[in-house]
Structure 1
Amino acid sequence: MLHNKSILITGGTGSLGKALTHHILKKWPGVKRLVIFSRDEQKQYEMEQDYPVAKYPQVRFFIGDVRDRERLVRAFSGIDYVIHAAAMKHVHIAEYNPDECVKTNVGGAENVIQAALQTQVQHVVALSTDKACAPINLYGATKLTSDKLFVAANNIRGQNNIKFSVVRYGNVMGSNGSVIPFFLKKKEEGVLPITVKEMTRFNITLQGGVDMVLHALKTAWGGEIFIPKIPSYKIMDIAKAIGPDCEHKVIGIRPGEKIHEEMITSSDSFFTYDIGEYFVILPQATMWNLNEFISNFKAKLVPSGFAYNSGTNTEWETVDSLRTLIKEHVDPNFKV
């Protein structure tokens, strides 16, 4: 699929960007060009050590900010596929720096869209989050706006043969700033801070996130929001898995946090289809034939009122399964 193609990843030095880079180079060594676009020169410098130009001449590093449209246009020149992973993602930081969050997550999304329309990009896949579903915090609100922008971008492409799609998923196990690395570090202090004992979250591995992005690149018709069928975990089970002998200290919910997350609301159910491994939320007005889509993917409309919530999920991780996943995907030295 990606052989002899040029791919650019915004936010490419982040956890998912690095996982995508590793996977793409392993599966498609004949990729023409793989551009890592980000604004953090130190992270780019560190990543360059893993992909020296002598061994990986197809990998390029491009300093830039998604807030800078002109820089994006230059970076997108000759690019076939864009994976938009750049975002300001920490909920509490966004609450206290709202203008910065809006500039990056909303303005940046619009800049990516316009730059892609001005160049020869064939497909843009934007990363979303469960916090974009019925948002109560600024981060979620900006990502919902971003989702809407990318879905609507398919309506303004004119004769341009480009597709825009979105992938939305839950907490990525082991990603920078997520709860598992945080607890692994706090374990050394003997105290794990718990926000609310009842809290639940969706869980997906980095590889699961990579697979989903590539699925969207391969199959999207334009305008879809892809959602994986993944398990939930209870925050207390994470605490028991990592620090069973630690004090589990309840500190209260932080600004902008939910007790449970959603990825599909009951209002979305009228446009949500089950396509097997994933759910997909379709635009209310598609640019292609809906019946053909349903036939092609054997898509089934979910029941009216269906909602996908981490607290009412039917699939759950256990303390034991979490320990196994942590050892496999986060810390190979973790004792199961």
Structure 2
Amino acid sequence: VVGAGEAGSMVVREMLRHPEAGLYPVGFLDDDPNKRGQTIAGVRVMGTLEALPQVARALEVEEVLVAIPSAPGSVVRKVVEMSRAAGVRYRILPGIYEILSGRVGISQIREVRLEDLLRREPVRLNLEEIAGYLEGRVVLVTGAGGSIGSELVRQVARFHPEQVVLLGRGENSLFLIEKELEASYPELKYKVAVADVRDRDRLRRVFQLYRPQVVFHAAAHKHVPLMETNPDEAIFNNVRGTQNVVELCLEFRVERLVNISTDKAVNPTSVMGASKRVAEQVVAWGASRAASGQVFVSVRFGNVLGSRGSVVPVFLEQIKRGGPVTVTHPEMRRYFMTIPEAAQLVLQAGGMGENGDVYILDMGEPVRILDLAKDLIRLAGLEPYRDIDIIFTGVRPGEKLFEELLTAEEGAEASCHEKIWVAKKSPLPSEFPHLLEELYRVARLGDDLVLRQVLKRLIPTYQPEGVPATDGSDRV
């Protein structure tokens, strides 16, 4: 057992209480020199992590268990590499984000996943600040069936809201999260509203019926290549949908609106990114009209690991089929964060409450997609290029090699939380409402080229392919 701390001793005691589980602890490894030679629950600390190969041989170890929920990814990676070299199995106890209750046990032992290798120092949350605006409130989450939306629902449930309203248009994903809530949060009061954020009348009825006080807006189209070929849908869903939510938040005096944005909104090269940048502008426009006591903010972050349709599930499927794993470009890099980590920071940013702000989550260091592919192949017990090939398929329309979390014209300032930055405010275009109407008009006509030109007038830093750079004098 790697880690002779609280989690390690808890799980070893449980192993000894339940011999039928077939797990017999023979020793601990821990890098704390004070623990060396100590006995915990009758099991001895044999040495540091470096001693793993010798200890594994001497004690005829069959499996190594990582029992440090707070361990950064570098430590997990080291254990995995040493275990593989020693020819022993390795499993892990979940990270701190997954263990909401703080209790660990045999039932939670699982295979090592990619997010374990990318683990960072756990984010310390200001729980009072979050509870302050969620406890006893009616909370509406749009896009509640999606990866981020459903995790926001799980995290909000911990803060004793009066009621949670799950709004989304995909009935299957809503059905799944509903079943999960019944099992895991039986005391939570919630309602499910099957609705589309583009349908303003339906949305208004939801606001009228439930009177939400806090709104998390996570409903959006997110796939870059798909939105390049269907730009009108990106506008209707990501921009018009956000405008509907913002206007109803103003009308129904919602206390807090937190809009989920993306690093692709920064100096966008894609319609999806540009549409999310305009959505941020819509929220800022709403913030300028908010009454005192109302707070409308956006939160921007990079890719979340394992979200539906993202790179990790795709790679896993390719590995299962025997390869090849397809990577667009050897230097393609992305910021990654686990879904619970992102959701917790969104809740924290929502509690910081400076009306009109755009918050940026600290995503750590960007990860090379090629390295990520190799990690996943090795975690499957295979060797890249020997068992599973990796091929490069070329950069897709609207994609960048590197994402940025800040626009060059913005810059960022530190906030009161170490993992959250604040983008400096940039002014809205002077004829903003008029440009929005123009955007909707050309989207309805399905004129993709003119649509991109209007987007460029809304966002001067937007760099679409095939649209000439403007000098600001042309009129659409």
TM-score past 0.5 threshold: yes
TM-score category of the 2 structures, normalised to the smaller one: 0.7 to 0.9
- Whole-angstrom CA distance in 2 between matches of 1:118 and 1:266: 34
Residue 15 of structure 1: how far off its partner (Å): 0.7
Look up the match of 2:7.
Answer: none
Matched residue SS, 1:151: helix
Residue 46 of structure 1: how far off its partner (Å): 2.3
Task: Give the alignment of 1:156-305 within 5 angstroms.
Answer: 156-157=289-290, 159=291, 161-189=293-321, 190-230=323-363, 231-243=365-377, 244=384, 245-269=387-411, 272-275=412-415, 276-284=418-426
**Is the 2:198–2:244 Cα contact (8 Å) retained in structure 1?**
yes
The structure 1 residue matched to 2:242, chosen from 109, 114, 136, is: 109
Q: List per-residue Cα deviations over 1:298-329 (Å, max 9, x = no partner).
A: xxxxxxxxxxxxxxxxxxxxxxxxxxxxxxxx
Look up the match of 1:38.
Answer: 168
- Whole-angstrom CA distance in 1 between matches of 2:362 and 2:175: 36
Look up the match of 1:288.
Answer: none
Equivalences, count: 281
**Is the 1:73–1:116 Cα contact (8 Å) retained in structure 2?**
no
- Whole-angstrom CA distance in 1 between matches of 2:398 and 2:353: 32
Look up the match of 1:290.
Answer: none
Residue 152 of structure 1: how far off its partner (Å): 2.1
Q: TM-score, normalised by structure 2?
A: 0.57
- Whole-angstrom CA distance in 2 between matches of 1:96 and 1:141: 14
The structure 2 residue matched to 1:11, chosen from 139, 143, 158, is: 143
- Whole-angstrom CA distance in 2 between matches of 1:219 and 1:57: 25
> Which stretches of structure 1, 4 residues or longer, exceed 4 Å deviation after superposition?
none
- Whole-angstrom CA distance in 1 between matches of 2:408 and 2:224: 24
Matched residue SS, 1:13: coil
Matched residue SS, 2:405: strand
Letter in 1 for 2:266: C
The structure 2 residue matched to 1:141, chosen from 254, 261, 274, is: 274
- Whole-angstrom CA distance in 1 between matches of 2:360 and 2:227: 24
Residue 119 of structure 1: how far off its partner (Å): 0.7
- Whole-angstrom CA distance in 2 between matches of 1:154 and 1:24: 23
- Runs of 5+ consecutive residues of structure 2 not aligned to the other structure: 1-130, 378-383, 428-476
Residue 81 of structure 1: how far off its partner (Å): 0.4
- Whole-angstrom CA distance in 2 between matches of 1:260 and 1:61: 38
Q: List per-residue Cα deviations over 1:251-304 (Å, max 9, x = no partner).
A: 1111111111111132112xx20223221113247xxxxxxxxxxxxxxxxxxx
Q: List per-residue Cα deviations over 1:5-48 (Å, max 9, x = no partner).
A: 110000000011111122222x22x3111010001112222222
Residue 76 of structure 1: how far off its partner (Å): 2.3
Matched residue SS, 2:421: strand
Pick the structure with greater CA Rg.
2
Task: Give the alignment of 1:83-98 within 5 angstroms.
Answer: 83-98=216-231
Letter in 2 for 1:12: A
**Is the 1:226–1:279 Cα contact (8 Å) retained in structure 2?**
yes
Letter in 1 for 2:191: R
**Is the 2:410–2:426 Cα contact (8 Å) retained in structure 1?**
no
- Whole-angstrom CA distance in 2 between matches of 1:274 and 1:3: 27
Residue 115 of structure 1: how far off its partner (Å): 0.9
- Whole-angstrom CA distance in 2 between matches of 1:284 and 1:202: 24
Matched residue SS, 1:264: coil
Task: Give the alignment of 1:314-329 within 5 angstroms.
Answer: none
Q: List per-residue Cα deviations over 1:40-77 (Å, max 9, x = no partner).
A: 11222222222239934511100111101122222223
- Whole-angstrom CA distance in 2 between matches of 1:56 and 1:36: 16
The structure 1 residue matched to 2:195, chosen from 64, 83, 100, is: 64
Letter in 1 for 2:376: I
**Is the 2:326–2:390 Cα contact (8 Å) retained in structure 1?**
yes
Residue 226 of structure 1: how far off its partner (Å): 0.9
Look up the match of 2:214.
Answer: 81
Q: Percent identity?
A: 33
